[in-house]
Amino acid sequence: MSRADKELVYVEHCKGVNGLEKVVLREVRGCSAEVYLYGGHVTSWKNEHGEELLFLSSKANFNPPKAIRGGIPICFPQFSNLGPLESHGFARNRFWSIDNDPPPFPTNSSNKAFVDLILKHSEEDVKIWPHRYEYRLRITLGPGGDLMLTSRIRNMNTDGKPFSFTFAYHTYFAVTDISEVRVEGLETLDYLDNLKNRERFTEQGDAITFESELDRVYLSTPTKIAILDHERKRTFVLRKDGLPDAVVWNPWDRKARAMPDFGDDEYKHMLCVEAASIEKPITLKPEHCNLVKRLITVSCLLYRHSLHSELVLLAN
């Protein structure tokens, strides 16, 4: 082990904006990530050159119960306004706790820069969403700068009832100029256009480019989606298994001006491409006398050049 490796603080617990608790993850090559316990929210992810890979609005609100604009909000148990809850559910504006006793992961890893968080239902949550759950989130920064989010959601209902939910990693990528960005891998696929009452269309272009507001949910998406930032000469690749949908969103100028926590011109420098499960909600049954254990695992692995997401249902 090198001296630098010995001296490096891989995981640092400290205070962030407005005194909110955060965790800073660091790796040997100089890459880093920041995670706020409020929302279980990744707000920063930098490569070894110190370049920020996630967009965070200059007007982002770090005053609970408002959600933080940018980074990687967790949309659970509802995506957008597709249900009775507030938009994108409540996980992104709850205070998570450090999980000091996480269950073992199915794969062994030598990663040192990671943090385990946990969110459990409160009585206030049950009043608006009548289900009991346990949501464990591991955020890992790999030696090469990859960022992985692994969500494990368990149905803790005692009445034997299943629950259904929609989900998304609402990832805001930092781009140089949205007019010079292309998204590849979604051609010929059906999508729901949120600007046209979720009407269903088929993608006709050989890539998605941006000249105006765009808000779509692509369906039955492939395992690989590429985001090309031509001006920066950077390519993100989204690789995913088990998360069938992909959201592509940019608010453009008019909607940007209408959002109080978003700069008027910041739409030029961000793009959301989100691994998600939206069209068909996930249904999770509760445990029955410990004989049947059902667990949802949702992983999202982000590299400087690629992003890997997967959804796995484990039962034993």
Residue 266 in tokens = 């910041």
For residue 132, which amino acid is it? R
Query: How many of the other CB atoms lie within 10 Å of CB of 294?
Result: 18
CA-CA distance, 104 to 92, in Å (whole number)?
25
Considering the candidates 27, 170, 266, 279, report the single residue annotated as catalytic.
170
CA-CA distance, 126 to 133, in Å (whole number)?
10
Q: Is 181:272 a contact under the CB 8 Å cutoff? A: no
CA-CA distance, 81 to 171, in Å (whole number)?
18
Query: How many of the other CB atoms lie within 10 Å of CB of 232?
Result: 14
Is residue 41 among the annotated active site residues? no
Provide the pairing of β-strand 224-229 with 190-193: unpaired
CA-CA distance, 13 to 22, in Å (whole number)?
6
Considering the candidates 131, 274, 279, 308, report the single residue annotated as catalytic.
274
Is residue 274 among the annotated active site residues? yes
Beta-ladder partners of 117: 98, 137
Could you give the count of Cα atoms lying within 13 Å of 270 in the half-sphere of its Cβ? 27
- Helices (DSSP H) in 113-188: which residue ranges? 123-128
For tokens 């030029």, the residue is 268
How far are the Cα atoms of 2, 33, 170, 227 from residue 203, in angstroms, in the given order?
51, 34, 21, 16
What positions carry a catalytic annotation?
170, 274
